Each structure stands twice: as structure tokens, then as C-alpha cells.
Amino acid sequence: MTVVFSGIQPSGETHIGNYLGAIRHWAVDQHEHTSYYCVVDLHSLTTPHDPAELRSKSLAMATMLVACGLDPDVCTIFVQSHVAEHTRLAWLLECTASIGELQRMTQFKDKSARTSGEFISAGLLTYPTLMTADIVLYDTDRVPVGEDQRQHIELARDVAIRFNSRYGETFVVPQGAIPKTGARVMDLQEPTNKMSKSVDSPQGTVMVLDPPDVIERKLSRAVTDSDGEVRFDVAAKPGVSNLLSILAASTGESVEALAGRYTQYGPLKKDTAAALIEALRPARERY
């Protein structure tokens, strides 16, 4: 039996990157595998936070997961800090990872650069070892995540393999499961940046709970380019490629097939908004 584990931080509102890149795949996996989905509140302690607010956001995130289709009768939904073994194992794994490999993590480099001049916690550096503990505690085979977590999964594998070779076969070595479309949804206003909970870009971020008219407005104002051609080319046309990816992830069609159907940005934006509104409707209504 394949074991699935994934986690989401309760800091900030759930956006379409979280939904299209991760959560909606969890809802499918729960019916096929033994699945654990974790609200990783301890991970949110790495950056400034208000404790009481974090507690209520953890409950809101669990509510969101259920609204998005996770069924507590089918999978296990829980809060990381309620299971003490996560932090107990994290120490053993911290002593198995090197500072060098942790310093190479792009998320650490990005987040510490963003907070430069301010307090940078040691937890921001060691965070991937806690994530490794989350995963290997459950003998996890498969970790469904967005593209931004690829490097952390690689590290988890390296640390599990190192631990096994030092101390004997202990952990299952996990594999990442990153979807073909929707694995890297970009900010609508800054399409070279990942859409993110912790970056303040209200017009560039579409929330799962945004009402339809707000989604239409955000999509209609999405940054594109001036050459007027609809084509999937992430490097040359990040804005248009992002719209095509969102449309593809919302409809199940391929970006190439969709690109051939449009000659103008206006209709592409309109259809992307409409498809997204439909894809999010069940979660919005259930929430």
C-alpha cells in the first residue's frame, strides 16, 4: 500500500497555486492511497507571526482542506504540533543534514534575502529537516507538492538515505509527485515570481475564496506583454504562459492545444477567469 504525505502552512490565505499545484491532487490521492495531510503550523514559526492568530489560521486551513474535498473519513487530516514525534525526529535529522546543503536551499536564500536586515531565525535554515521528519515518520512513498518543493524533497531523500546508511535501514526513501500543469502558478502582476502566501501582492494573487467578480477583475488586469501573440514560452512570455497554465490546469487540457485556440489576450483572460471560477466553485461553496 502506497503511503501519501503532504503539508501546507497555515500562514496566509489559500491561493490558486496551493489548490492547482497541490491540494486538488491530494483529494484524488486520498481515494487511492493511505493519505496523511498535515497543517504544518510549526513551519510557520520560522517567520514572524502572532501565536493566537496562527492557532485560528490552523483551524481555518483545516476547514479549507475539507472544503477542497479532503474527507476526514477517508484520509487523515491533522495539525503538526499535535504530534510531538515530528519535532523529536527533526533533531535526529538536523544532525544528519549538513549546514552546507541547508544553505543551498533556494527557499532559504529567497526568504532570508526578503527579510534581510531583520531577524532571520535558525529555523528558517533548518526547516527542511523538520519537513523531512514530517515525511519519513509515516513511511511515506509519495509526496504530492508544487514545483517549489522539488529541492526540499531531494534533500529529504538524501537525508533519509544517509540516515539509513549510517544507522541501518530505518526510513522509506520518499518520492515527490509534481503535477504536469499547475505546479508553478505565477503572480499575475509579477509573472516571473511564484504566487505565494507570504508575499504581499493582492492583485497578483487569486484566492480560492475570491468571489467570481474579483477573479474576473484580477485576471483581466493580469500582466502580459506587448507582442500580441498567444504562445507558451515561459522565458519570453511569462504572463501569457502563466494564463495558459492556469487555463490548462483548470480544464485538464494541454497548454499547447489551448495556445492554438487564441489569437488575442482578451479572450484568453476571459476564458481563464471563467474556467477558474468553475474549478473553484465547489471549494468556495463548501467553505
* Site residues for ligand ATP per CB under 6 A: 8-9, 11, 17-18, 21-22, 145-146, 148-149, 183-185, 194-198
20-24 contacts at long range (C-beta below 8 A, 24 or more positions apart): 20/179, 20/181, 20/182, 20/185, 20/246, 20/249, 20/250, 20/279, 21/145, 21/146, 21/147, 21/179, 21/182, 21/183, 21/184, 21/185, 22/144, 22/145, 22/146, 23/65, 23/68, 23/70, 24/68, 24/69
Is 194 noted as a catalytic residue in this protein?
Answer: yes
Please give the Cα distance from 76 to 92 (Å, whole number). 25
Q: Beta-carbon neighbour count of residue 129 at 10 Å? A: 25
Is 218 noted as a catalytic residue in this protein?
Answer: no
Pick from 152, 218, 237, 269 the residue near ligand LTN by CB under 6 A.
Answer: 152
Structure letter (DSSP) for residue 15:
B
CB within 8 Å of 48: residues ≥ 6 apart: 119
CB of 140 to ligand LTN, least distance (A): 8
| Residue at grid coordinates 531583520 | 118
Q: Kindly name the residue from 57, 109, 180, 197 that is annotated as catalytic.
A: 197
Residue closer to ligand ATP by CB (options 107, 254) is 107
Which partner, ligand ATP, ligand LTN, none, binds residue 5 by CB below 5 to 8 Å per kind? ligand LTN
Which partner, ligand ATP, ligand LTN, none, binds residue 196 by CB below 5 to 8 Å per kind? ligand ATP
Which partner, ligand ATP, ligand LTN, none, binds residue 183 by CB below 5 to 8 Å per kind? ligand ATP
CB of 263 to ligand ATP, least distance (A): 27
Residue closer to ligand LTN by CB (options 178, 230) is 178
Please give the Cα distance from 262 to 75 (Å, whole number). 40
Residue closer to ligand LTN by CB (options 114, 281) is 114
Is 71 within 8 Å of 115 (Cβ atoms)? no
Residue closer to ligand LTN by CB (options 39, 279) is 39
Is 197 noted as a catalytic residue in this protein?
Answer: yes
Write out the catalytic residue numbers. Answer: 111, 194, 197
Which spans of this chain sit near ligand LTN (rule: CB under 6 A)?
Answer: 5-7, 9, 40, 43, 131, 134-135, 143, 145, 149, 152
